[in-house]
A and B are shown apart, each in its own frame.
Chain A
Amino acid sequence: MTINKVNTHIVPIEFEYHAPGSLDEAVGLLERYGEEAQILAGGTDLIPQMKQRKAEPKHVVNIKRIPGLACIEETPDGFRIGALAKLRAVELSPQIKEKIPLLSEAAQSIGSVQIRNLGTIGGNICNASPSADMATPLLVLDATVHIYGRDGAKTCSIAEFFQGGGDINLGRGEFVTGFTVPFPPVGAGSAFEKVGWTTFDIATVNVAAVVTLKGGKIDHCSIALGACSPAPVRGVLAEAALIGKEPSAEALEEAVEFIAACVEPRERWRRAPPEYRRRSSKALAMDALSRAIERARRFP
């Protein structure tokens, strides 16, 4: 039992603030301070954590002065989205809306406009919350994470990036510079679904799905679930159950039965009991797949 006597409108800890102007300067600081350092992007996750003493970094490294990290660029392989791209920018980008509407839909579901104006896509992923709303779209689209460290730039697949239990695949001194998000297959339909306590709330469950049809059968299917396991996960068994099938109600019912086997909700997560998460992840998967199929059907 603790009685919080700390006034929450102040950050009750002391820390040193750094604002590096280049990637290498940032790496230098992160290497020097290691565990004691934490990156500051939009701060919408980090600052509340510091106020509640859930994060107590001795060094805060603001990366917003490093140029070029907020880009949203179309390339032949898909979109290159900088770690510092605001959620609001992802939501509103006309190119993203046209080519990968799933990203825009997921971004739009996050918090309020004010939060999206501050929060970044990099922060959303690197905060490593199982309920991060950008994680499931990046998973179903097989995005690549761009990482910068002492040895320069490298990449890692998004699936390998999440390690569960709040861990991400970054070594000492490393940080994320952006993502490459491949275009979905031609003719794909996609959908993002989420439930929370209120409209502004973080998800108690979220689901992203991408489907293509060929000759009336499901040709490609990817589905990912958030807030149901220690890290966002792909519903691989459900995907396998659908590929090659006609998208009938029965086939979908059968496939979502596998969802329960893909997720591992934890008892101690306070927002909803595991049973509720299991059942509603199934229901949401059904909704997301149905909507994605519906949209794929509209493709001539």
Chain B
Amino acid sequence: MRYDRILEDLLNRDDFLVVGRSVVRTDALDKVLGRAKFTADYVPRDTAVVKVVRSPHPHALIEGIDIEPALELPGVQMVLIAADIPGENQIGYALPDQPFLNDVKTRFVGDPVALVVAADEGSAVEGADAVRVKYSPLPSVLDTVDALRDGAPLVHEGGNVALTTKIRKGDIEKGFSEAEAVVEDLYDTPYQDHMYMEPEAAYAIPEGSGKVTVIGGMQSPFLVREKVAHILGWNLNQVRIIQALTGGAFGGKDDMGPLVCAKAALAAVKTGKPASLIFDREESVAYSNKRFPARIRYKSGADKEGRITAIDVDITLECGAFANRAPFWLWRQTAHAAGPYEVHNASIDGRAVYTNKVFGGSFRGFGNVALHFAAESQVDRLAGELGMDPVELRLRNILKPGSRTTCDQLLDHSVGIEECLTKVAEASRWSSRKRKRNGSKVTGFGVSCAYHGISTSRSTPDWSAASLILNQDGSMTYRTGICELGQGAPIGHAKIVAEITGAPMESIRIEVPDTDSTPNAKPTHGSRGLMLGGTAAADAAIKLRERMVNVAADMLGCPEGEVDLRDGKASRKGEPGETIRFPELAEELYHRGVSPASYGFYAAPKRYFDPETGLGVNYSVYTFAASVVEVEVDTETGLCEVVKVWPAMDVGKAIDPLVIEGQIHGAVSQGIGFTIMEHLKLRDGVVLTPGFKDYVVPSALDTPEYAPTIIVEEPYQHSAFGAKGVGEPAIISIVPAITNAIYDAIGVRLNKLPATAEMLHAAMRGGAR
């Protein structure tokens, strides 16, 4: 099925009912009125509280754990350590390097050692303080340079390099010899915390013997189920996971969901009573996963015409204490290294390195933020060297249908970056832009492009499932394992279902993901929630539609091809007079024994790459974005304000323009935070800024003016209506567009983020560059 043709081929309609229109989300009112239920809202009073006992040392051997003093305290019910784990004491995501509770050594400040279960918060805190852990501190490595030195202390046996990646394409020596300009630099990007409004939370209820239910914040209920079962040593069907509405995730809860839910589950199963674990802000900022820091050395050359002739890129990723998602993250950076440009000669090496710091993990953009910061700074510098306009140089290299990516993947369709770039340049009047000076304030303009392969990295098999039931009263029950995290992906699914079946949006109820009844849609990450999950929804809806049409045609006495389903009614096309309302149609299906339920399944086209050269088909499709940014920098204080943003994105097909705009506006703020404000400070592995006061994120008042979002639609043939993911691509181009604009304003390029007022101030005065 070519899903971009559903409208004409299947629905036989000229226009959409709900797809492509901005609708009021069906969950909006509950959220605005505070009625929506998040994890903590499910926890009854007097539920036992779990607290984590954590290592105060960046690196230490555990010589003994004495839990007795804690058990003597009133209120403390149980203390759990590694020996109490019935299953395997291992919760690493990609590599088995992350013990669930440590009993041998700890690898970062905050590494868990024990769980205290107590009657209330206060007793749990006192209990955690009372557990006596005897540590013997080890020398630690706190940055990648130290970690890579000969004889450096080892975070894990087997060396501090967790893994490496590479791509070899063409001949870079030849490429550089053809270059007129060659530039090379080092780009450093820091940790970033997700700062979701709702901290990590889980509530676990033992259900008799051999079954536990966990309600929590997460992005992948089925991954959580797998990890909880693994820790408990149980079968998958003994664990029921329910994803409560999640108050922001941005990737963070993909990794934290299993860690937090498994702790609550272990406590509940061991005590036989419900237990809850809710992080406070400090725990969340100090001990939860962060955006992986990266250091990228990037060398690139371009000929007189501005064609990029070669790139030579070396990526060092800081894992922190555990690899977690590093293999996927690093591979994504490697595979996207050229940016959205066609470059025939490329050599790329990557390594992920352990340190004794808080572990990195999933975060919107997944490696592409750091990578594009380097790649797009380089493109601007090449333009500068060649005296060429930065937009012009980009256009000369830009990916088009028929182009090949960094890893030599042929892009045969759905490549809209050229249109994105030309349109933002036009909208922002790029060619007539003027730098203005007003007292100590100078304005500058920057541009950047971005591309992001949709869904999981490393060519892992990718599929999604969904189910749809037409109830007797004509209403519909839709189930997907794709999670609502604020982004609205399940609402997008409902719109797809509404479009295909003709059911009114209000008549479709989206169930919360529940592994006991919801089909496995795989994770809500990699910007795949709408594209993969929505296509499974389309599959389910098409199957149900066929049956509804079949029965309706019989009732109306017309050929199936003439049945129109819309507004909860079936009618004959062109003859809206005689209609069958859905309750009646549903009754008839049940009556005739035609199944009113359908299961949708969708598998993405196969992908592969050659481990030797890195070449292959890495992602089934890419989303493209371009942004122009105007900044104002105060040359006296170094304060930088992002004044205006012109965003453009090739989304394949906009299922809901308002949701896309929401993603872009949110991503701009997150990108502004990453570039010029957010600064996670650590000393000896201790996070010094564990809260909103010291780790500042942009507020509503720091939001720039937005030009209308330019939506480019180059449909993807294999997804529902041609839609592609938008969540991550939205943030990627913002970061380098800001730094390019800062350079335009004041002639200073900060290759090390964040470019805070203080750093810009120092750089302008010839200090740290």
| Contacts from A to B (Cβ < 8 Å) | 1, 3-10, 12, 112, 195, 197-201, 204-205, 270, 272-273, 276, 279-280, 283-284, 286-287, 290
Contact = CB atoms under 8 A, between A and B. Distances in A.
Contacts of A201: 696
B698 A198 contact: yes
Contacts of B700: 112
Interface in B665-686: 677, 684, 686
A287 B51 contact: no
A122 B691 CA distance: 27
B677 A280 contact: no
B280 A283 contact: no
Nearest to A200: B699
Contacts of B278: 7
A260 to B, nearest CB: 14
Interface stretch (B121-129, B148-156, B496-504, B744-752): B121-129
Contacts of B128: 5
Contacts of A3: 54, 56, 109-110, 286
A201 B699 CA distance: 9
Contacts, number: 83
25 contacts: A1-B684, A4-B282, A4-B283, A4-B690, A6-B125, A7-B125, A7-B278, A8-B282, A9-B280, A112-B699, A195-B639, A195-B757, A197-B677, A197-B757, A198-B701, A200-B699, A200-B702, A201-B696, A273-B758, A280-B638, A280-B757, A283-B440, A283-B636, A284-B636, A287-B439
Contacts of B691: 8
Given A198-B702, A280-B636, A5 B440 contact: no
B761 interface: yes
Contacts of A279: 636, 761
A7 B699 CA distance: 24
A62 B757 CA distance: 39
Contacts of B51: 5
Given A112-B699, A270-B694, A287-B439, A198 B758 contact: no
B235 interface: no
Nearest to A276: B758
B637 interface: yes
B439 A5 contact: no
A195 B282 CA distance: 26
Contacts of B702: 198-200
A112 B129 CA distance: 37
Nearest to B694: A270
Nearest to A4: B282
A10 B440 contact: no
B281 interface: yes
Contacts of A6: 125, 280
Interface string B296-318: 00000000000000000000000
Contacts of B690: 4
Contact of A200 (B281, B684, B701, B761): B701
A216 B56 CA distance: 65
A280 B760 CA distance: 12
Nearest to A5: B125
Contacts of B762: 276
B121 A198 contact: no
Contacts of B282: 4, 8
Contacts of A12: 122
A199 B701 contact: yes
Contacts of B439: 287, 290
Contacts of B286: 3
B272 to A, nearest CB: 25
Interface string B118-136: 0001100100110000000
Contacts of A9: 280
A138 to B, nearest CB: 24
Contacts of A200: 699, 701-702
Nearest to B639: A195
Nearest to A205: B637
Nearest to B688: A270
A12 to B, nearest CB: 8
Nearest to B701: A199
Contact of B636 (A7, A204, A286): A286
Interface in B31-62: 51, 54, 56
Closest 5 CB pairs of A and B: A283-B636, A199-B701, A200-B699, A4-B282, A197-B696
Nearest to A8: B280
B696 A198 contact: yes
A107 to B, nearest CB: 15
B754 to A, nearest CB: 10
A286 B761 CA distance: 16
A4 to B, nearest CB: 4
Nearest to B679: A197
B192 to A, nearest CB: 15
B440 A272 contact: no
Nearest to A281: B637
Contact of B129 (A5, A205, A272): A5
Nearest to B683: A1
Given A5-B128, A276-B757, 7 more contacts: A4-B282, A5-B125, A197-B677, A198-B677, A198-B697, A283-B634, A284-B636
Contacts of B637: 195, 205, 280, 283-284
B439 to A, nearest CB: 7
A199 B704 CA distance: 12
Kindly name the residue among B51, B634, B637, B691 whose own CB sees the greatest number of chain A CB atoms within 10 A.
Answer: B637
Contacts of A284: 636-637
Given A3-B56, A198-B699, A270-B694, A287 B440 contact: yes
Interface string B613-637: 0000000000000000000001011
B280 A7 contact: yes
A288 to B, nearest CB: 12
Given A4-B690, A280-B637, A283-B637, A272 B701 contact: no
A201 B695 CA distance: 11
Contacts of B56: 1, 3
Given A197-B677, A283-B636, A287-B440, A10 B699 contact: no
Contacts of A270: 688, 694
A33 B278 CA distance: 37
Contacts of B636: 279-280, 283-284, 286-287
A198 B676 CA distance: 10
Contact of B121 (A10, A276, A286): A10
A201 B679 CA distance: 15
Kindly name the residue among A10, A197, A198, A284 whose own CB sees the greatest number of chain B CB atoms within 10 A.
Answer: A197
Interface in B681-740: 684, 686, 688, 690-691, 694, 696-702
A201 B694 CA distance: 10
A148 B51 CA distance: 47
A197 B637 CA distance: 11
Nearest to B699: A200
A175 to B, nearest CB: 27
B302 to A, nearest CB: 38
A202 to B, nearest CB: 9
Contacts of B110: 3
B648 to A, nearest CB: 27
A50 to B, nearest CB: 15
Contact of B761 (A8, A112, A199, A276): A276
B699 A199 contact: yes
Contacts of A4: 280, 282-283, 690
Contacts of B758: 272-273, 276
B641 to A, nearest CB: 9
Contacts of B699: 112, 198-200
A10 B121 CA distance: 10
A249 to B, nearest CB: 12
Nearest to B40: A9
Contacts of B756: 197
Contacts of A10: 121
A104 B279 CA distance: 40
B466 to A, nearest CB: 37
B582 to A, nearest CB: 45
